[in-house]
Structure 1
C-alpha cells in the first residue's frame, strides 16, 4: 500500500488529530511530523515517500524474522479462517495448547506453566499478581514488596509501571510506590574511575541484600530484573551479577522474576537468556515481542512447577487465580508464535545470531573510539552508543537531547532508523541481518555520529 497520492496529507492530519501515540509529548500534540512506515521487506521498512531504511530497532525490539515473511502471514490467515477466536475462560484450542508445549520445552528448569497475555506489560502484571496470589494462599499477606532497579523498564500497565525505574517516565503518572523498592544503577559505565569492576559488582550485590534486610525479608516478595536493561540504555551488568543476585534471593525466600520480554526468543542467540547466557533458573520468566516476531501481539508469564504446586491441588484452598484477558492464548497469535519457532529452528536463526555476534560487537566497540562517544556497549544483537557532548554544560539534558536528535536525523537521511533515547542510540536489528547488512548499518551509524559531531562543533556545543 502506498500513501503517495492526494490523500496523504489528510492521512497525516488524521494521525495528528485522532491517533494518540504511546509516550506522546503533549506539548507537540497535533503537530508531529512522523515517518510513515508503510511496508517492509527483510530488515528494511519502506516509508510513504518510498525511502528504504534499515530497521535498526527491529520495530520495538521485536521483528526477529524481518518484514514480509509470508509463512507467518499465511499461518495467521489460515488460523483466522479455521478459528479466529475462542474464549480462554471456557474453552481450549489446539494452537495455544501446542505453543505452550513448545515454549515449555525451551525454558530452563521446571518453568512449565505458560500463562498467555496480550504483551510484555500484561505479562509482568500477571507475574506480580501471581506472586501476590501465592503469598496470600501461603499465609504471608505482608510479603508483597517487589525490588527493582534504577533504569529498569517492565511495562506501562499499573503494576508493571510501578516496578519500572526510568526516572523520566515517572513524572506525571501515579505508581504503587508502597509495593516497590529500587536499587541504584547497575551500569558499570557509571562507576568511579578508581573502582574496579569486581568492587562494583560486590557493591551491587550488597545493594540487593541490604535492601532486603532494611525492608524486612518477611515483606519482600520478589526481585524483578531484565537480564539486560534494554530500554534503560542496554545496560549489561557485570559478569556474575545475576547468579549472585539469585543466591541472595534464595537466602531470603525472595522470588526471582526474569523479564525476558526483549532478550527472549533469540536476541542473545538463545531461546531464553536466563540460563544459557547468565546461568540462572529464575522462578518466573516473562516474554513477549519476539515470540511472534512482532507480527501480532502476544506475551507470556511462565511459572515454575514449584510455585504452581504451592497453590494447586491439595494446596489450592478452593482459590481461583482471577487474572486473565479476553485475548489470552489468542489462536491467531499462537499460530504466529508456532510458525516463528518453526522458522527459527529450520533456518538456524539462533546459530546465525551467535555466529554474527562477534562482528556486531567488534563494530560496536570501534564506535567507542569516536570523540563524541562516551560508551559503546551491548550483547548479542542489541547495542547502545552513549554520547557525551559536554559533561560540564549548564544545559546538559537539552544538549543530550540535541545529540540524540542530530544523530537520529543524519542516520535516517542516510538509510537507517535508530531508537534515540536522549543521548543514547539504541539498536537491535532483525535477527536475520546478514554480515553485509550489519556492516552497512554500522557504517551509517558511524557517519551519523561524525556528522552530528561536526554540527555540534560548529555550534560551539561540543568539547572533547
Structure 2
C-alpha cells in the first residue's frame, strides 16, 4: 500500500481548535447533554489503518471513518488523481448536453461491476441524497407509465437510509426522528429482519416465512396499485447490523416482482468490498435489484459522491422524452463532480489491483470467528454480521436478552475503554459496531480482539461498580 509522503503538519493549537469546534460546528448526531462540556476529540492525521488525534494519540481505525475508508487512509494515488483533475478542470456543469471525462468513465465502470441490467448511473453527493433522488425518480417513472397512484414506499423498522427529509422518512430508527417531522403519508415500515430477536421458538425458516407473509399482507392492505417500491439494506447497518434469515431478500423480491413493486437495494454500506464483493445483492443474497444505491466506499470517503444504478427497463421510460421541450428536471450542481469521480475511479483501480475483495473473503470469516470469542463476557449477548460489517449487542441478561438501562451508556463505555487502549469503534446505544478499513490482516484482527477483550472486562467492572449489574 502506498500512502502519501508525510510532510510536517503545521502546528495546531489544540485548545483553540477544540474551542472553535465546540462553539461553531454543529456535528451530526450530537449528544448535547455531553457536548457543551466535553466537545469533540479532534482527529487531525491518518495513515493506512491508523488515525491520530490533535494530542498525538494514535488509534487503529475500527470504523473506516464511517463505513467508508475502505482502501485505508493516506493513499497517495487517490490524492494525486484528485489533484491532477482539480488542476485540469475542477468543476463544470453536467446539466443538459454537458459532461466530463471522469463521470463518463466511472458510469461505464459501475455498469460493468453491477449486476447485469443495471447499466445507467444517476450521480448525487452521498447516500442520503442518492436515496432521496431514487424515490423521486421512481415516482416519476410510475407517473410516466400512467400509474400516478403508485407512490407509497415500503421500508423497515430500524432501517437507515439517511437524514435528508425523504431519506429520514425512509429511515426506521425511531430515535433518529425524535422531534423531527417525517413524510408518513409516503412511507410504510415493515418489521426489521432481526434473527437475534426473532419470536421465541421460531426457526430461521419459519421466521423468514413470517416476514414474507407480513409483506404480502401489507400489499393486500394498502393495494399494490398504491405501492411504488420496497427499499432494503442487504444487511442493516446503523440499525444494528441486523442479519436477515437465509433466503429473505430473494423471497421479498419475488413478492415485489409479482405486484410490480420495484426492489431498491441500499448498498451504501455493503457495496465496494465490505462483504467481499463490489456489490452484495446478487453475489451474496441472490437478488437482482431494479435499483442499487451506493456511496461511502465508492470513493473510500476521499470525496463526497453517491450514485443510483438504474436498470435498463426503468431507463427506457426515464429516457423517453416526456413532451416537446420537456427535460428530466432533477439533479444536483455537483452531479458527476469530476474530482469526486476521479477519486472513485482510482479507488476502484486500487481495489481491483490489490485484490481487496478477495482479502475480505479470506480475512472476514477470521474476524467473525475471533470476535465471537468475546461471547464469554457477561454483557456480550450477540456477535453478528458478516465479513467486515459486524456488531456486538450488549445485554443485562443473556438468557432473557434484556437490555441494560439507557443511562448505563454501555456502548459508550465499551468504546471509551477501547479508545483508551488505542482502538476506535462505534457506539450506537447498547451496540458497538466494527466496520474497519478493508486492508486489515489477521495480525491486526488479533490485536483488535485483544484490545476489545480488555475493554469488555473493564466495562463489566465499571457497570458492576455503578450498580447496573
Query: Which band: TM-score by shorter chain?
Result: over 0.9
Superposed CA offset, 1:56-105 (max 9, x none) = 11001000011111010011001101110010114211111001000100
Are residues 313 and 441 of structure 1, via their aligned partners in 2, closer, same or farther at CA, if it must alter by over 3 Å? same
Question: For 2:49, which of 2, 24, 43 is the aligned residue?
Answer: 43
Report matched runs for 1:378-457 at 5 Å. 378-389=385-396, 396-399=405-408, 402-457=409-464
Deviation, 1:17, is 0.7
The answer to whether the 8 Å contact 1:137/1:317 transfers is no
The answer to whether structure 1 residue 78 and structure 2 residue 84 are counterparts is yes
- How far apart, in 1, do the equivalents of 2:263 and 2:204 lie? 24
**Alpha-carbon RMSD:** 1.7
For residue 254 of structure 1, the aligned residue among 246, 253, 261 is 261
Secondary structure, counterpart of 1:16 in structure 2: helix
Q: How many residues align?
A: 459
Stretch moving more, 188-197 or 402-411: 188-197
Hey, what does 1:340 align to over in structure 2? 347
Q: Specify the alignment match of 1:20 in structure 2.
A: 26
Query: What corresponds to 1:280 in structure 2?
Result: 287
Q: Pick from 219, 229, 242 the counterpart of residue 226 of structure 2.
A: 219
Rounded to whole Å, the distance in 2 between the matches of 1:236 and 1:316 is: 45
Provide the residue aligned with 1:206 in structure 2. 213
Q: Supply the distance in 2 between the matched residues of 1:69 and 1:372 (Cα, whole angstroms).
A: 38
Q: CA deviation at 1:460?
A: 2.7
Deviation, 1:365, is: 2.0
Contact residue 133 and residue 321 of structure 1 kept, 8 A: no
1:97 to 1:153, Cα distance in 2 relative to 1, 3 A: same
Cα distance in structure 1, aligned partners of 2:76 and 2:362:
26
Checking the alignment, whether the CA contact within 8 Å between 1:227 and 1:274 is kept in structure 2 is yes
Judge conservation of contact 1:64–1:432 (CA < 8 Å) in 2: yes
Contact 2:394 2:403 in 1 (8 A): no
| Counterpart position of 1:160 | 167
1:317 and 1:152 map into 2 onto residues whose CA distance is 40
| Cα pair 1:309 1:315 within 8 Å, conserved | no
Gaps of 5+ in 1: none
Q: What's the CA shift for 1:369?
A: 3.0
Q: What is the match of residue 17 of structure 2?
A: 11
Instruction: Tell me if the contact between 1:55 and 1:416 (Cα under 8 Å) persists in the aligned partners.
Output: yes
d(CA) in 1 for partners of 2:101, 2:79? 19
Q: Structure 2: how far apart are the matches of 1:307 and 1:374?
A: 44
In structure 1, the partner of 2:204 is 197
Could you say which residue in structure 1 is the equivalent of 2:182? 175
Which aligned pairs between 1:96-175 and structure 2 lie closer than 5 A? 96-175=103-182
| TM-score, normalised with respect to structure 2 | 0.95
1:302 and 2:289 matched: no
**How far does residue 395 in structure 1 lie from its aligned partner after superposition?**
7.3
Q: Say if 1:389 and 1:403, in contact at 8 Å, map to a contact too.
A: no
Query: Structure 1-normalised TM-score?
Result: 0.96
**Greater shift in the superposed pair: 231-240 or 188-197:** 188-197
Unaligned runs of 5+ in 2: 1-7
Deviations 1:243-263 (A, max 9, x none): 000000011110000000000
